[in-house]
Amino acid sequence: MILDLTDVTVSFTTGPPLRRTRLDAMRGVSLSVAEGETLGLVGESGSGKTTTSRVALGLQRPTSGTVRFDGRPFPRRRKDLAGRMQAVLQHPHWSLNPRMRIGQSVGEPLAVLGKAAGELVPEALEQVGLEAGFAGRYPHELSGGQRQRVSIARALITRPSFIVFDEAVSALDVSVQVQILNLLKDLQAEYGFAALFISHDLGAVRYVADRIAVMRGGEVVETADAATFYSAPEHPYSRQLLESL
Amino acid sequence: MNRTARVKRSRRLDPLSLAGLGCLLLLVLVALGSLVHAGGDPDAIVGPRLRPPGPGWWLGTDNLGRSMLPRVMEGVGTTLLLSSAAVLVTAALSAGFGILAGYRGGYLNELIMRVVELLYSFPAIVLAILVAAVAGPGQLAAVASIVLVTIPLMTRLVRAAAVAVAERDYVTAAAISGAGLPRILGRHVLPNVAGTIAVQGTYALSVGISVEGGLSFLGFGVQPPQASLGVLIRQGGTYMMAAPWLIIGPGVVLVLAILSINVLGDGLRDRFEPRETRSLI
């Protein structure tokens, strides 16, 4: 297993002093992602998807439970993980630093590792279907779909074993979504990275996921193979979700 | 895809701000001119005392018979130099503290913001006098006062901008890639709050000029015989009834300097911080 979440609970305290209320964003969540596999995580807003992605990325420490990446707990120093885990995030508008050229953005994970980017940046751009010439442009010259392609190129450049896609296609229109999802499948077939694909859109998840986990109110209500899930969902909530599709 | 309507940033400043910029450059030119005594020697006695403007002393003469023109030119230079030096210090410190507080949050943020609020709660001139009392009157006191007066607002605004930038996906993505704090702050946060720093820097410059004016007017700042706008206004004030030109010359220049900088600041703000109206995704 590349990623293992066992009985993870994350709670936040909110409200004024003396009347603090505890809010569990995740309650006893157990999930795992195998090498090369895509786990689709679906659920409505507020179901704990984003917190789960933050825990999976090591950005949020669980209140209780254990998280293991590649068989080991997260190292104290983030740098020890550099290049092995990447993410493609939600907003095409904010996914790239507006003050950096595309080439710099794509090459940054390599720079973090202290490696020279060299030929790898144009190569990475071509892998996601963009011309090498894009390296010299600024993000504001690109469309939303092109920016998400750049984000994918940036995530792939260190050949990570695990990538989190957090609502990575939700802000794009449908035809562009399909292109990006196809691209993802092709790239995964080629490089074999494992992925956690988080979305509120069951249609998009169906397209890429090998297994599906459904979250509701901070809990995982069902985990199943994609084929089983879409043909015979077990949990009433899953059925309800599928009906609305 | 939903249309993300971006307000087009105009590359150029509006005419009013350009006029402000022009006026400011003119003042800088005048100040540079005083270095080569373009308007005459500021310390030379050229004629009778307290003469109204006329040939040989186009802004009149002061109580010692010195021509006001070169003195005002020197004064503009001193005031602009001290204020800009102070604003550079403010910009550097505010950028450092503001970005760190905004990105890291937590106790560091609390500590920095409480200190800033403490400074903020002092009236500017009281703070300036306090500094002068500790450091002794002079140019250093003027610079230190301007820094202390301008640093709270700038730090708060830089922090606010940094908080907004810290939540953006490219910062998160860099952190996930394993980028260290120096890289995240230097490559991602700083360049994206630089516009705020530039805009606030211009406003701080105009505040700086008025603080220098006030402090020197009270006698705690620049010391005569060196001229600054504040020093000249203080000296002119004594003879205001008999020789109003002593106060009109430096007064008009002071107003011009502050006005042109503020107008330029407004233009820069519109240029760097356009209100972006974006549709909800």
Crossing angle (nearest 10°) for helices B124-135 and B190-217: 80
A154: nearest CB among B4, B173, B278:
B173
A-B contacts at Cβ under 8 angstroms: 86
Mean pLDDT value of segment B202-228: 89
**A24-64 pLDDT, tens per residue?**
888 888 999 998 899 999 988 888 888 898 899 888 888 88
Residue B208, CA distances (Å) to A76, A239, B45, B222, B266 in order: 45, 67, 31, 13, 17
User: What is the rounded distance in angstroms from the CA atom of residue B250 to the CA atom of residue B236?
Assistant: 9
Q: Which phi and psi (to 5°) does residue B227 adopt?
A: -95, 140
**A7-33 pLDDT, tens per residue?**
899 988 877 777 778 888 888 889 999
Domain ranges across chain B: 15-33+67-272
Residue of B nearest to A90 (CA): B169
Mean pLDDT value of segment A185-214: 89
Cross-chain Cβ contact B177/A140 below 8 Å: no
CB A193 within 8 A of CB A163: yes
Percentage with pLDDT > 70 across chain B: 93
Provide, as residue numbers in chain B, all residues whose Cβ is less than 8 Å from the Cβ of A101: none
On whether ipTM exceeds 0.85, the answer is yes
Is the domain covering A1-13+24-81+194-245 a CATH 3.80.30.20 domain? no
Distance in Å, alpha carbon of A234 to nearest chain B alpha carbon: 32
- Any alpha helices (H) in chain B, and if so which ranges? 15-35, 68-104, 106-120, 124-135, 139-166, 169-176, 181-183, 190-217, 229-238, 245-272
pLDDT at B271 exceeding the cut of 60? yes
A86 touches B: beta carbon within 8 Å = yes
The residues, any chain, with a CB within 8 Å of residue A185's CB and separated by 6 or more, are A207, A208
**B96-120 pLDDT, tens per residue?**
999 999 998 889 999 999 999 999 8
- pLDDT-derived band at B274 (thresholds 50, 70, 90) equals low
A170 touches B: beta carbon within 8 Å = yes
A89 touches B: beta carbon within 8 Å = yes
A61 touches B: beta carbon within 8 Å = no
Residue of A nearest to B184 (CA): A112
- Any alpha helices (H) in chain A, and if so which ranges? 49-56, 102-112, 120-127, 144-156, 174-191, 202-208, 226-231, 236-243
Provide, as residue numbers in chain B, all residues whose Cβ is less than 8 Å from the Cβ of A97: 170, 187-188, 191-192
A148 touches B: beta carbon within 8 Å = no
Torsion of CA A126, A129, A132, A135, to 10 degrees: -110
Give one word for A98, left, alpha or beta, with left for phi > 0 and alpha for psi -120 to 50.
alpha
pLDDT at A228 exceeding the cut of 90? no
Residues of B with CB under 8 A from a CB of A: 1-2, 4, 6, 168-170, 172-180, 183, 187-188, 191-192, 278, 281
The residues, any chain, with a CB within 8 Å of residue A119's CB and separated by 6 or more, are none
A94: nearest CB among B6, B168, B176:
B168
Cross-chain Cβ contact B178/A95 below 8 Å: no
Cross-chain Cβ contact B176/A86 below 8 Å: yes
pLDDT of residue B259: 92
A76 touches B: beta carbon within 8 Å = no
Is the domain covering B15-33+67-272 a CATH 3.40.630.30 domain? no
CA angle A72, A48, A187 (to 5 degrees): 60
Cross-chain Cβ contact A108/B174 below 8 Å: yes
B1: nearest CB among A90, A96, A171:
A171
Distance in Å, alpha carbon of A100 to nearest chain B alpha carbon: 8
User: What is the rounded distance in angstroms from the CA atom of residue A180 to the CA atom of residue A178?
Assistant: 5
